Amino acid sequence: GGDTAKESADLYEADKSKGQPPAGAFVFYDCSGTIGDRVENWGHVGLCVGQGEVIHAWGEVRIDDYLAIEDLGAAPGWSSPKYIGWAPLERILIGSVPKAY
């Protein structure tokens, strides 16, 4: 993936998969803010556990509906997340080489 959730969303073309994500999909959001002296769209990502529910970290590890995540309050200087789309696990694993044990 990319160095940020947003870079990964772009790399995996998450914007091409809209609607309710299936279980096991990585779910991506635009989310901008300041880290150090850089303001950037760092993005936000979670994992769909089924029925549109996404486990992610937003102040704490929690489970929310994939669209309800857009309604979460943001830290000062940050934007609330905006849904981009999702990518299946298979897309994320492309190019991975399993380790021999």
The model's pLDDT over 16-50, given as tens digits with 9 standing for 90+, comes to 999 999 999 999 999 999 998 999 999 999 999 99
Higher pLDDT: 93 or 47? It is 47
Determine the pLDDT at residue 1. 82
Q: What is the mean pLDDT of the chain?
A: 93
* Largest distance between two CA atoms of the chain: 47
- CB distance 81 to 41 below 8 Å: no
- Which pLDDT score is estimated for 69? 98
Q: Is the dihedral of CA 93, 18, 41, 82 positive or negative?
A: negative
Q: Are 73 and 81 within 8 A, CB to CB?
A: no
Query: What residues contact residue 84 under an 8 Å CB cut-off, 6+ apart?
Result: 9, 14, 15, 28, 29, 30, 43
Give the pTM.
0.91
